[in-house]
Amino acid sequence: MQLFYNPTITQDSKEIIFDKEESRHIFKVLRKQEGSILNLTNGKGLFFEVTLIQSNLKNCIATVLEVKKQEPLPYSLHLVVAPTKLNDRYEWFLEKATEIGVTEITPIICDHSERKFIKLARFEKKIQSAMKQSLKAFLPKINEATTLRDFLKSQESNLHQKLIAHCEETNKQTLKSVLKPNDNTTLLIGPEGDFSTNEINESIKAGFIPVTLGASRLRTETAAIVVCHGVAFTNED
């Protein structure tokens, strides 16, 4: 099934007007004609089945036939992950995390970060594409990049479980031992050079619990996927 994304659709929408880019794709690539059935999501938990009433290169219009709801994840997972030196690795993480199940992502700039700027619009497109490919009706939220210290300040009133994964040889709990079903979790993952000692200490003072992801040293994007899968696995029936 091919899934389209339109954030403006609501449960009460009766007609959908596709933009020029999507109209061209529908008409020229997919070769859809009047009467064809398409599937859409608004990224807010709703699926829409629509039928084309007009199909051409510049303007495709459809009417809504049916609206279905998708159940949200039984947990919330906010992954706070430093951008990787190579953009494609971070984009891989965004894609796979969306497929597995994540609710929010924040890129953080750390003391050892080699990449300090991101292209948010490109990241948003990667997430949208992964949502459509995996047939999900909820679009994860991705925030603007921020420094770790500014992020920690924003978490002072956060009552969710707060974790930090780092590589220093200190007392850490296993991720498996701290995860619980139906829980809400915020987890920090540093850059290729890991968090600095000061950053780790500041995070702990802010209420973040140090965890280990296993004996192997993992790349930033791999560590994020291990966490994502661990949380999803904990919440399996």
114 with 85: CB under 8 angstroms? yes
One-letter amino acid of 42: N
Of 80, 100, 136, residue with least CA distance to 235: 100
Alpha helices for the chain (secondary structure H): 20-24, 87-100, 120-133, 148-154, 175-178, 197-205, 220-234
Report the C-alpha gap between 141 and 131 in whole angstroms: 12
Model pLDDT for residues 167-198, shown as the tens digit of each residue: 998 899 999 999 999 999 999 999 999 999 99
Return mean pLDDT, the chain: 94
Report the C-alpha gap between 228 and 82 in whole angstroms: 15
Stretches where the chain sits below pLDDT 70 are 237
> What is the per-residue pLDDT for 156?
87
13 with 22: CB under 8 angstroms? no
Model pLDDT for residues 113-150, shown as the tens digit of each residue: 999 899 999 999 999 999 999 999 999 999 999 999 99
Report the C-alpha gap between 46 and 137 in whole angstroms: 6
Structural domains in the chain? Answer: 3-69 (2.40.240.20), 76-234 (3.40.1280.10)
